[in-house]
Chain A
Amino acid sequence: MMQVSNTIKTLLQLLILCFSLQSFAVSDTVPEGAVSSKEQVDEYILHHLKDSHDFHLFSYTADSGERKHVGFPLPVILWSSNGLATFMSSEFHHDDNGRVIVEKNGSKFVKLHSKIYELDAGASSVNFDEEHHATNAHKVLDFSITKSVVGVLLVGLLMLLAFSSLAKQYGKKKIPTGFGRVLEPLVLYVRDEIARPNIGEKHYRKFTGYLLTVFFFIWVLNLLGLTPFGFNVTGQIAVTACLAIFTLIIYTVSGNKDYWMHILWMPGVPVFVKPILAIIELAGAFIIKPFSLLVRLFANISAGHIVVMSLIAIMFTLKESLGVAGATGLSLVLSFFITLIEVLVAFLQAYIFTALSALFIGMAVAEHDHDHEHDDSGHEVADTEDVRADFI
């Protein structure tokens, strides 16, 4: 009981912290005169959803009328046609439209819509077609320490610090104190509510480490996305794809004979149905399951960011019809409640991703020592496991 109330208290404090910063962010990241029209708001939101090469905190218009950006540059690491090229993102001077050309290692780079392109040999500036696509430049493999990578590193570091200190506490005492008392029930929750029931008593130990890592990784990154630092790590499709593929690899590698049997040559169905089922099952195992994982997380978090930012933007877009005070008030009230929901979603998505990963692993390692019940005509009666699988 004590632990639960502690957790709730911490969550509440976190929540309050988020809001105080969120409202602070409204006035800072969307300064007047820079982002005020609907088109600018749309562009700003879309820009935010993308990964960025520098850590931008806020912008303002100086007295001289010049736009000033406050933040810090991040290292850009590229694998171009002429080999490795590294430089700081400040060399682009906040340009995102392909105007500033950076020359490194004999290659010319431009940044266009948050992506870095290498100009084709001989070209000296970017040419665009009607849809604003570059015609004489191509993408390069971009290993930059982007804002998302910073977020991942930050969360990784936080997790390591928090949980290794919890691990150390157990050396001295049986029951952790302080922050460890908040973390322990969370670890127990993942182990007892996600790993154990979905994977089964016999195999869950092997996979608990992965599930715990993924759960806290996603959860903390989701929460970090609600702070005004503007991280959108779990809204990057590359990140969610990576997570989903990890789960895919784990359940594919640890799948037992029964699992492959049920995929490739489903028992208990007529022979001519078996190849058809095998195709469906293979598609399910290798495409649908990981795709559902990666899209669910990506879409939920992206949608959350879009909604929160759109509601904040009401402050500008409805200024004419509602007046400054009305628009600001409406914006604050709506974004307050949506952010509350987003805090819930942050946890929920981490839970769903982890629980589904556990379920997929559980289906791969399940031992079919129980015979499926057969009805009179020899057809399998769906047991709970099959029914559960149908919902995914």
Chain B
Amino acid sequence: MEVLLNDFSPGLFIVQTILLLGLIFLMVKFAWKPILNSLNEREAGIEEALAAADKARTDMQNLQADNEKMLQEARAEREGMLKEAREIKEKMIADSKEQAKIEGDKMLKQAQSAIESEKKAAVADIKSQVAELSVAIAEKVLKEDLSSNDKQLKLVDSMLSDIKLN
């Protein structure tokens, strides 16, 4: 202990105190402050960059989700449109079928009525021809032989049966 105290130099202590104070002051001013500030800045920069990357990633994910949603909506819309188109088509086909049926019916009726009138005309024509024929037959009969009753009767009978056939 005595040796230690003897070795202790107050002068060196004072000089060292002054030098250390100066050194601390200079080091803080010219070295530690700028170095630590830069390090902190750099660390903050790195942290910021990481956060930005994270944000970009979530943004990207959101965007992708949005895209997916839009795609699905578009798909649904397309489905809807296709369905509608199919319905319209079916309706149109049904409509036109009905129309065609009505038209056909109408044509059928016209045809029937035309046939009827044609038939009437034909019957009238036949009647007139029959009348002419009867007149002609009668003429012939009258011209040929009105002598026998039997023959006359036979003739009338055969003629009548002919007429009935008509």
- Is the CB of A170 closer than 8 A to any CB of chain B? yes
- Evaluate contact between B35 and A239: CB separation under 8 angstroms: no
- Evaluate contact between A160 and B9: CB separation under 8 angstroms: no
CB within 8 A of B19: which of A156, A166, A237? A156
- Evaluate contact between A209 and B13: CB separation under 8 angstroms: no
**Could you give, for residues 6-38 of chain B, a 1 whenever the CB lies within 8 Å of some chain A CB and a 0 otherwise?**
111111111111011011101110111111101
CB within 8 A of A188: which of B12, B31, B33, B39? B39
Nearest B residue to A295 via CB reads B4
**Interface size (B, Cβ < 8 Å)?**
32
- Evaluate contact between B17 and A50: CB separation under 8 angstroms: no
Interchain nearest-CB distance for B101 vs A (Å): 87
- Evaluate contact between A166 and B16: CB separation under 8 angstroms: no
Give the CA-CA distance A144 to B17 in the complex, in Å. Answer: 14
- Evaluate contact between A238 and B9: CB separation under 8 angstroms: yes
- Is the CB of B42 closer than 8 A to any CB of chain A? yes
- Evaluate contact between B27 and A212: CB separation under 8 angstroms: yes
Given contacts A163-B35, A174-B42, A187-B39, contact A143 B11 (CB under 8 A): yes
CB within 8 A of B11: which of A50, A142, A159, A167? A142
CB within 8 A of A243: which of B10, B20, B38, B39? B20
**Which of A115, A166, A170: most chain B Cβ within 10 A?**
A170
CB within 8 A of A238: which of B8, B24, B42? B8
Give the CA-CA distance A174 to B44 in the complex, in Å. Answer: 12
- Evaluate contact between B34 and A170: CB separation under 8 angstroms: yes
- Evaluate contact between A210 and B26: CB separation under 8 angstroms: no
Given contacts A146-B12, A238-B8, A238-B13, contact A217 B23 (CB under 8 A): yes
- Evaluate contact between A152 and B30: CB separation under 8 angstroms: no
- Evaluate contact between B27 and A163: CB separation under 8 angstroms: yes
- Evaluate contact between B10 and A167: CB separation under 8 angstroms: no
- Is the CB of A29 closer than 8 A to any CB of chain B? no
- Is the CB of A392 closer than 8 A to any CB of chain B? no
- Evaluate contact between B28 and A213: CB separation under 8 angstroms: yes
Interchain nearest-CB distance for A135 vs B (Å): 15
- Is the CB of A277 closer than 8 A to any CB of chain B? no
Residues of chain B lying within 8 A (CB to CB) of residue A156: 19, 22-23, 26
Residues of chain A lying within 8 A (CB to CB) of residue B35: 163, 166-167, 170, 184, 187
CB within 8 A of A141: which of B6, B10, B23? B10
CB within 8 A of A164: which of B11, B31, B42, B45? B31
Nearest A residue to B34 via CB reads A167
- Evaluate contact between B30 and A144: CB separation under 8 angstroms: no
- Is the CB of A236 closer than 8 A to any CB of chain B? yes
- Evaluate contact between B9 and A236: CB separation under 8 angstroms: yes
- Evaluate contact between B34 and A238: CB separation under 8 angstroms: no
Give the CA-CA distance A114 to B4 in the complex, in Å. Answer: 14
Residues of chain A lying within 8 A (CB to CB) of residue B9: 51, 115, 142, 236, 238
- Evaluate contact between B4 and A237: CB separation under 8 angstroms: yes
- Is the CB of A241 closer than 8 A to any CB of chain B? yes
Residues of chain A lying within 8 A (CB to CB) of residue B42: 174
Nearest A residue to B14 via CB reads A143
Given contacts A156-B23, A213-B23, contact A208 B16 (CB under 8 A): no
Residues of chain A lying within 8 A (CB to CB) of residue B36: 187, 191, 205, 208-209
Residues of A45-84 contacting chain B, CB below 8 A: 50-51, 79
Residues of chain B lying within 8 A (CB to CB) of residue A288: none
- Evaluate contact between A246 and B20: CB separation under 8 angstroms: yes
Given contacts A167-B31, A243-B20, contact A50 B7 (CB under 8 A): yes
Top 6 nearest A-B pairs by Cβ distance? A163-B31, A170-B38, A142-B11, A167-B34, A209-B28, A238-B13
6 A-B pairs whose Cβ atoms sit less than 8 Å apart in the complex? A160-B27, A163-B32, A184-B35, A187-B39, A209-B36, A238-B8
Q: A164-B31, A238-B8 are in contact. List 19 more A-B contacts (CB 8 A).
A: A152-B23, A159-B27, A160-B23, A160-B31, A166-B31, A170-B38, A171-B34, A184-B39, A208-B36, A210-B24, A212-B32, A237-B8, A238-B13, A239-B12, A239-B16, A241-B8, A242-B13, A243-B20, A246-B24
